[in-house]
Amino acid sequence: MDNIGNFIEFLKNFRNFSHHTISAYTIDLVQFETYLLSISKNMNTVTKDEIRDFFAKMYDDGVVAKTIARKISCLKSFARYLINHNHYEAFELKNIINIRLPKLGSRLPKAENNEIIEKIISYINQDFSIYKQEWQKRRDIALVTLLYTTGMRISEALSITKAKYLENKGYIAITGKGGKERIVPIIDIASSKINNYLQICPFDRDFLFISNTGLEFSARIFQKNLENIRKNLNLSDSLTPHCLRHSCATAILENGGQIRKIQELLGHKSPSTTQIYTKVSKEKIAMNYSKIMNS
C-alpha cells in the first residue's frame, strides 16, 4: 500500500494529473491489490492467466472497454514507476508491463466448443501427473461439465453445498453478484458426473467440491489444473474457468437460445452484456463460411 501511496503522490506532484484521474487510479490500484491478496500473489508473481481472469470478470460484469483500457494503463504506469524507482527489476514485472490494451468497443469473449470440452475431459480421465486419485479426476470432470452446461461463475459453483445440491433435483438456486439469487437448471449429464464424483469422494464435507486435502476447493487450484491441461494439450491460453462460462452462453445461442434467457441463466445485470454473444456467433459463422469457400 505504501508503494501505491507514493505513486499517487508522484502523479500529483510531477505529472499534474487531474483530481478525477488520481481518484480513478487509486481505486484501480487498490482493486488490483485486493485481487492479488485474494489469490496470494503479488506484482512480480502474478501470472498472465491470473491477470487475464481479473479483467475477464470485469467484462462479464459489463465494465466497458474504455474503462478496462484505463485500468490497464494505470497498472502499466505503476509497474514502470516501481522499476524506475528500483523496487523491482524489469523482468520481474514483465507480465504486467506486457498486458495488451483491449480494442475500444465490445470485446468478443473466448469460447470453446463441445469437441474441446470432450478433449479436456478425456485428458483428465487419462492423466496421472495432475491427479493422483480417481476421485480427484471425477471432481474436476464434474466441475468442468457443470460450468460448461450451466454458465455458472467458478465462485458460484464452488459455493454450492452438498445439501443444496442433493435437495433440488434438476435445478439449484445460487447467489450471484450483488447477492441476487437465480435458479440454474442442472441437466442430466452434469448430475451424472457430479454423482459419479460423490460416490467415491473420501470426504464428507458441507461443500460440494472438496480439495485434495479435504478442505473447500479453491478457484485458484482448479484454474491451475486447467492451465496444466491446456499446456499439455496445446490449447488456447484463453482456457480458464471463465472461458467455460462464455462457452456455455455461446453454445446455447448457436442452438437457438434467446438472449433474454441466456441473460437470466448467467445472471447478467444488463442485456447489453449478454448481447455480445451474438457477435461471437456471427464471427464463427463468418469463419466457417470462409473455410468452406477457400477449401
Residues marked as catalytic: 153, 177, 242, 245, 268, 277
- Which of 95, 52, 91, 109 has its CA nearest to residue 227? 52
Instruction: Give the ranges where 168-270 is alpha helix by DSSP (H).
Output: 188-200, 219-233, 241-254, 259-266
Please, where are the H alpha helices in 127-240?
A: 134-150, 154-158, 162-167, 188-200, 219-233
Q: Does residue 170 come out as left (phi exceeding 0), alpha (psi in the -120 to 50 range) or beta?
A: left
Burial state string for 35-62 with b = 16 or more CB within 10 A and e = fewer than 16 = bbeebeeebbebeebbbbbbbbbebbee
The CA distance from 169 to 149, in Å, is 15
